[in-house]
Amino acid sequence: MPKPNFQTLVIFSLGLITGICIRFSFTILLSMLFAAVSIFIYTMQDAEELKKNQDKYFLIISSLLYLAAVLFSVYLTAALILFVSYEFFQKRNFKTMILRLLPFIVITLFSLVMYN
């Protein structure tokens, strides 16, 4: 079985999130855009020929965009599933996976507490 294309998974998942949304509005579209860019930048961390510590900058930028997406719409906390699935597809060890996902988990937990 061929390995699934991650960009296809992102587009399908964002479409699914859009279908789940009760109120379809401009803020949800804007938050989906922020989430899509955040996921794209997160996948750029694995690009070859990055300079020293450049992958950390990508992680910070991706985290900030994810925070903006979640602040616009709580529905985008479901995008955490995409980050986790990307890490599983890359077959990293558990410790590395948790360290890379920690900012996104904290942002998701913060937003869920804030909205409830």
Q: Per residue in 17-75, pLDDT tens?
A: 666 555 567 777 788 888 888 888 888 777 666 666 777 888 888 899 999 988 888 87
Q: What pTM was computed for the model?
A: 0.76
Q: How many CA atoms lie within 13 A of 105 on its CB side?
A: 7
| 25 conformational bin, left if phi > 0, alpha if psi -120 to 50, beta if neither | beta
**How many C-beta neighbours within 10 Å does residue 48 have?**
4
Find all residues with CB under 8 Å of 70, minimum gap 6, and list them: 31, 76, 77, 107, 108, 111
